[in-house]
């Protein structure tokens, strides 16, 4: 039941945090690690942020390994993020936004991704990334400011449409 309920968001998380076409492998490894770590899971805490933290760690490890090998290309699972029936301009805007988000430094990209593309609230984002809530706010502010500069639009509004 947990796998069925949380795998879609785990796949999106892995893909958006740099796993790209290897998102399934990252998520599978995260599920194995989550299973092995069930004894450390605090039942008083929500399961989803705990799992997504594991997925985020696995995606980060995967990304670091890919960079070391020189494989810097990442593809986002566009079928889930883009509405193929939408306007061409909307699709181009979303693609441009995703490219811009992908160019942010990792610490800003992960916060913007969790907050706007995965639609996690600040507390969930803090738990998933294992950083204080205040750090989420400051990184989100810096990330959105950089996106505004690159895109020349209200990045927060643009991210909500992605």
Pair 45, 121 in one domain? no
Domain that holds residue 157: 82-162
Pair 104, 127 in one domain? yes
Pair 91, 153 in one domain? yes
Pair 40, 103 in one domain? no
d(CA 115, CA 126): 10
Q: Which of 30, 58, 81 is where one domain is finished?
A: 81
Pair 100, 161 in one domain? yes
Pair 116, 74 in one domain? no
pTM reported for the whole predicted model:
0.51
Pair 38, 101 in one domain? no
| Average pLDDT over all residues of the chain | 79
Q: Is the pLDDT of residue 142 over 90?
A: yes
Higher pLDDT, 73 or 7: 7
Contacts of 160 (CB under 8 A, 6+ apart): 116
Pair 57, 108 in one domain? no
d(CA 97, CA 32): 33
For residue 94, the domain's CATH number is: 1.10.10.10
Q: Which of 50, 81, 112 is where one domain is finished?
A: 81
Find the farthest-apart pair of alpha carbons in the chain and give their distance in angstroms, rounded. 49
**Region of poorest pLDDT, from 30-34, 58-62, 89-93, 126-130:** 89-93
Distance of CA 55 to the CA centre of its chain: 10
d(CA 66, CA 72): 6
Question: Mind listing the pLDDT tens digit for each residue in 22-53?
Answer: 889 999 999 999 999 988 888 888 889 999 99
List Cα–Cα distances, 71 to 17, 66, 68, 106, in angstroms.
15, 5, 8, 16
For residue 52, the domain's CATH number is: 1.10.1740.10
Q: Which of 16, 48, 81 is where one domain is finished?
A: 81
Q: Which residue has the tokens 């696995």?
A: 58
**What's the domain count of the chain?**
2
Pair 62, 112 in one domain? no
Nearest to 115 by CA among 140, 150, 134: 140
Pair 64, 86 in one domain? no
d(CA 162, CA 93): 9
Question: Mind listing the pLDDT tens digit for each residue in 79-89?
Answer: 444 445 445 55
Which tokens hold the place of 54?
A: 């594991």
Q: Does residue 142 come out as left (phi exceeding 0), alpha (psi in the -120 to 50 range) or beta?
A: alpha
């Amino acid at each position: 039941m947990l796998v069925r309920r949380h795998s879609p968001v785990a796949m999106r998380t892995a893909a958006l945090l740099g796993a790209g076409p290897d998102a399934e492998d990252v998520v599978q490894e995260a599920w194995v690690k989550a299973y092995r770590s069930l004894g450390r899971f605090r039942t008083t805490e929500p399961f989803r942020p705990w799992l997504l933290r594991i997925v985020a760690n696995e995606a980060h490890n995967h990304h670091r390994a890919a960079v070391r090998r020189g494989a810097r290309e990442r593809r986002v699972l566009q079928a889930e993020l883009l509405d193929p029936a939408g306007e061409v301009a909307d699709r181009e805007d979303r693609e441009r936004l995703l490219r811009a988000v992908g160019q942010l430094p990792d610490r800003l990209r992960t916060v913007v991704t969790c907050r706007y593309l995965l639609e996690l609230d600040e507390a969930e984002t803090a738990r998933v990334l294992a950083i204080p809530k205040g750090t989420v706010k400051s990184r989100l502010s810096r990330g959105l400011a950089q996106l505004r500069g690159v895109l020349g639009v209200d990045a927060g509004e643009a991210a909500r449409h992605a």
